[in-house]
Amino acid sequence: MKNPSKPDIREPINMPILSSRWLGTDAVYHYFFGIPIQLDGVVSKEHYDKFHSEYITDVIAGHPMASNGWMKEAMDEMEEMGVF
């Protein structure tokens, strides 16, 4: 006989998430395992960590065609100093 006050852990519980701060299962998976759920099994965690540590932001910001990258900052500073 089942005890109604003690739910069976094997049975799925259809209960809505009642918090507005719930980020979703993807964010929870990334928090616990350190890699997005979509990339699990596709790339290694070491590669993901190496690529996303600082490398990707340096590649984007250092590109000369970046709209708000390091080149634009340098040009703005040169303009302020009166070089142009």
* CA distance readout (Å), 14 to 11, 17, 38, 42: 10, 10, 25, 31
Q: Please check whether residue 72 lies inside any domain of the structure.
A: yes
Q: Are 72 and 60 in contact (CB under 8 A)?
A: no
Q: Please check whether residue 9 lies inside any domain of the structure.
A: no
- Rounded to whole angstroms, the Cα distance separating 45 from 57 reads 18
Residue 83's domain comprises 44-84
Question: pTM (2 decimals)?
Answer: 0.45
Q: How many domains does the chain have?
A: 1
Q: Are 48 and 39 in contact (CB under 8 A)?
A: yes
Q: Are 48 and 35 in contact (CB under 8 A)?
A: yes
Q: Please check whether residue 15 lies inside any domain of the structure.
A: no
pLDDT at 77 (0 to 100) = 92
Q: Please check whether residue 7 lies inside any domain of the structure.
A: no
pLDDT at 42 (0 to 100) = 93
pLDDT in tens, 19-77: 777 788 888 888 999 898 899 899 999 888 887 776 777 777 788 777 788 888 888 99
